[in-house]
Amino acid sequence: MSDTQKRKISTTKKQRYKDGTYIHRKRIDLSSSRRRHTAKTKEIIREKLISRIEKLNGKYSPNYNPYVCKVIDEYGLQHGYNFQHAENGGEFKVLGYFVDGYDKKKNTVIEVLEKYHSNPKQQERDVMRKKEITECLGCKFIEVKLY
């Protein structure tokens, strides 16, 4: 290490240890200064991610819970819907989201909310997602809570 580097380090340490207490370097909090993405930008990001995955790995299909498919089928039978879901045609994609079930004839979306949807932060995301989907499709939106 050169003498110049040693002097710089020494000067920095002296500046940080004023009055015998260590002064931390100022940290810049980027989270408050960052701009938030618009709904359109988020949609573009989701779509590009899906197309990138498909390009690398072939067809993209999200993970799903087989039990949820049974719940959707039962709900459809009881209420006269014919939902397309992961086990009978694949989940319907809208705005880069995959909905649990969609009845094209009745223009109805069904989402089965499992335990992780009880998290307040996830509930905020769910509200925004529901709003975006209903505005885009002009559909009826059904939520079935399992928690």
pLDDT, tens digit, for every residue of 37-50? 888 888 898 888 88
**Of 47, 111, 123, nearest to 83 (Cα)?**
111
Please count the other Cβ atoms lying within 10 Å of the Cβ belonging to residue 62.
Answer: 11
Name the 3-class secondary structure at 111.
strand
Sheet containing strand 108-113, strands side by side: 101-103, 108-113, 140-145
Confidence of residue 24 (pLDDT cuts 50, 70, 90): low
DSSP string, 24-75: PPPPP-HHHHSPPPPHHHHHHHHHHHHHHHHHHHSS------HHHHHHHHHH
pLDDT on residue 5:
81
Question: Residues 123-129: what's their mean pLDDT?
Answer: 94
Instruction: Sketch the domain layout of the chain as residue ranges.
Output: 20-145
